[in-house]
Amino acid sequence: MIRSMTGYGTAQMALPDGSVLRAEVRTVNHRHLTVSANLPRGWEGLRPGVMEKVRAVLGRGSVSLSVTCESPGRSDAGTPVLDLERARRYVELLRRAGSELGVDDRLGLGTLAELPGVLGSEVAPDEAEDRAAPHVEGVMACVEAALRGVVGMREAEGGRLEEELRRAVSRIEAGTEAIEALAPGRLLRERDRLRERVQALAEEVETDEERLAREIAYLAERWDIAEEVARLRSHVELFIETLDAAGSSGRSRTGKRLGFVVQEMHREANTVGAKANDAAISAEAVAIKEELERLREQLENVE
């Protein structure tokens, strides 16, 4: 099964000292794996282990991970601090916005206190590190549980994506079969049409039948789309095989490969449409390219 790159997972754990540990992971699509981890102040020493845990589970996507540790009842959990410069800047910006937009509203302390970064708490780094050290295993277990939630959501969404991908590729396969069936008749029609034109132009002038046959053979080779159709069919089969094999290793990272196969299918469909010189075949080629565009959009969110 393929995986989407959109996912969310959260986990919570009680630590022996009464603190409550929470881990939250959000992921969205991205060409590569990028991880942003936000840990409690002084717990930075845990970052390498947390990052390694994420990379072991997720293959692609933009990952935002947040770990918090709350200590109910602790009187020394942190000293309140005020970022006066940040507050001053907020006031200046809000007043300017009110003046330019014609909004008359008074700023209150309650509103100011709710603005990000104005009020916070300061914990001594050495104290935070002392609190983090005994709970490394707990932090890793909590992060791992949140990641399991992300994987579950990604797989559920991936299942829905896979159904749509299979329907689209089935329509492409049907279009390829239709082109394959139309191609031989088109060559015969073009051959007969060319012969009629030559005879009409020549009228009673004697024509070199051998040279005419060579010209017809040359044009037939230029118009022949058998190789392109065969490659298109081969790419369709590879796409289906890749879908079938997705996730067999326990980590689904097939989005890039499927994207490459779609690119190659689009190349062959373009060539077929350019060489077709036939309304029915051109219509099938256009329909195939429309399905390929839908496939490409869907694959942008496949891990």
pLDDT in tens, 240-273: 999 988 855 545 578 999 999 999 999 999 999 8
pTM comes to 0.67
The confidence score (pLDDT) of residue 179 equals 92
115-119, 127-131, 149-153, range with greatest mean pLDDT: 149-153
**What are the residues facing 81 on neighbouring strands?**
120
Q: Can you give the length of the chain in residues?
A: 303
d(CA 3, CA 258): 13
Residue 122 is predicted with a pLDDT of 56
- Other beta carbons less than 10 A from residue 68's beta carbon: 14
Residue 218 identity (one-letter amino acid): Y
**CATH code of the domain made up of 7-76+124-152:** 3.30.230
Structure confidence by residue, pLDDT tens digits, 133-172:
667 888 899 999 999 999 999 999 999 999 999 999 999 9
Judge whether 32 and 146 are in contact, CB under 8 Å. Answer: no
Buried b (16+ CB within 10 A) or exposed e, 17-35: eebebebbbbbebeeebeb
Q: What's the pLDDT at 40?
A: 86
Distances (CA, A) of 297 to 33, 100, 168, 258, 293: 19, 41, 12, 12, 6
Q: Is the pLDDT of residue 110 over 60?
A: yes
Taking residue 100's Cβ as centre, other Cβ atoms within 10 Å add up to 8
* CA-CA-CA-CA dihedral for 280, 283, 284, 289, to nearest 10: 160
| Residue 251 and residue 147 in contact, taking contact as beta carbons nearer than 8 Å | no
Contact 10, 157 (CB under 8 A): no
pLDDT of 133 reads 60
Nearest to 65 by CA among 41, 44, 35: 35
The half-sphere exposure of 178 on its side-chain side, counting CA atoms within 13 A, is 18
> Beta partners for 9?
25
β-sheet with 20-28: strand ranges across: 7-14, 20-28, 61-70, 33-38
